[in-house]
């Protein structure tokens, strides 16, 4: 059996996959990976990347640099310039990250879905009834970043950031297997609730929720002078006054995880974007509804 077939067999075995990625000391493993990934040794890094490739479809051909002094440098790699152009139309909202689209749909009540049959309360995710009410009538989209993907995320539209609420938490895996087994998973994991206003769309609200996961649990936001991680107990509310243009880099995950996008009323997913579809940074994710133009 070749490596690709072996890897697929492992990934498709749900019980084994869940056991290996969740029934471990998740927080301890995540802290260890944070330490290990920062060891600056080109030789150790090459060996680690070779092992990483046994379990993923890691492709570094788009990376700005091909040599890495640490595993962390590879995780948070930049891309070659011009590879992820953003749609310039102000009526569109683009994907903030490379991702696989997960659960998505209208925000019409108190709950949204993490997977079919697995709802979770929006107010619990955001830790705010007021925020959850503000997004009623909009849409939610779950964007899952695999460990092999580009891990930086960007402003999906011209926006202003007013507040970040950092919530420390657990580090469950966020793959589809775990989402079908762990109730309210996104509400349990470490996350940052980023409250934004779309300055070119009448200051309509936009909320981005980067959710960390096993081996990740560390989120960098460029406009904050602190690395958000598990040793910093939350929730912590951080007022902000940051403005960003469409496509500007907002930050990165240390490995791979999820970004939940909550959009205001008047936007709809573009045709072809649905659960299971791969999407790239800058690709149009939402557009203004024709009846609102």
Q: Active-site residues: which are they?
A: 98, 154, 257
CB 252 within 8 A of CB 98: no
- Quick one: tokens of 232? 């910093």
Nearest Cα to Cα of residue 196 among 237, 241, 144:
241
| Rounded-to-integer distance, Cα 247 and Cα 3, Å | 37
Q: What are phi and psi of 189, to 5 degrees?
A: -80, 160
CA distance 283 to 292: 22
**Dist CA 145 CA 150 (whole Å):** 8
Beta strands 258-263 and 159-167 are unpaired
CA distances from 292 to 70, 97, 262 (A): 49, 26, 18
Residue 250's contacts (CB-CB under 8 Å, 6 or more residues apart) are 96, 153, 154, 155, 194, 208, 221, 222, 244
Strand intervals (E) in the chain = 92-94, 99-106, 111-115, 118-121, 139-144, 152-154, 159-167, 191-198, 204-211, 218-221, 228-229, 236-244, 249-253, 258-263, 267-269, 278-279, 284-288
Instruction: Report CA 134 to chain centroid distance, whole Å.
Output: 22
Continuous H helices in 185-265: 185-188
């Amino acid at each position: 059996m070749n490596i690709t077939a072996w890897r697929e067999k492992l990934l498709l075995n749900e019980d084994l996959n869940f056991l290996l990625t969740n029934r471990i000391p998740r927080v301890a493993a995540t802290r260890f990976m944070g330490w290990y990934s920062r060891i600056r040794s080109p030789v150790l890094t090459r060996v680690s990347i070779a092992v990483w490739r046994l379990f993923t479809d890691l492709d570094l051909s788009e990376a700005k640099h091909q040599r890495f002094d640490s595993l962390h440098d590879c995780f948070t790699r930049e891309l070659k310039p011009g590879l992820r152009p953003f749609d310039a139309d102000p009526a569109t909202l683009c994907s903030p990250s490379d991702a696989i689209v997960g659960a998505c749909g209208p925000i019409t009540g108190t709950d949204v879905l993490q997977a079919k049959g697995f709802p979770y309360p929006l107010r619990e995710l955001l830790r705010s009834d007021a925020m959850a009410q503000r997004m009623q009538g909009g849409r939610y989209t779950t964007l899952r970043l695999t460990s092999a993907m580009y891990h930086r995320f960007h402003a999906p539209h011209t926006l202003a950031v007013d507040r970040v609420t950092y919530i420390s938490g657990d580090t469950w895996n966020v793959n589809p297997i775990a989402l079908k087994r762990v109730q309210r998973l996104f509400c349990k994991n470490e996350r940052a609730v980023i409250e934004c206003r779309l300055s070119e769309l009448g200051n309509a609200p936009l909320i981005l929720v980067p959710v960390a996961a096993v081996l990740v649990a560390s989120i960098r936001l460029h406009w904050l002078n602190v690395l958000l991680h598990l040793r910093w107990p939350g929730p912590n509310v951080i007022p902000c006054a940051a403005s960003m243009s469409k496509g500007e880099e907002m930050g990165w995950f240390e490995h791979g995880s999820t970004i939940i996008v909550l959009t205001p009323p008047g936007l709809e997913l573009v045709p072809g974007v649905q659960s299971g579809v791969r999407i790239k940074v800058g690709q149009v994710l939402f557009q203004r509804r024709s009846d609102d133009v």
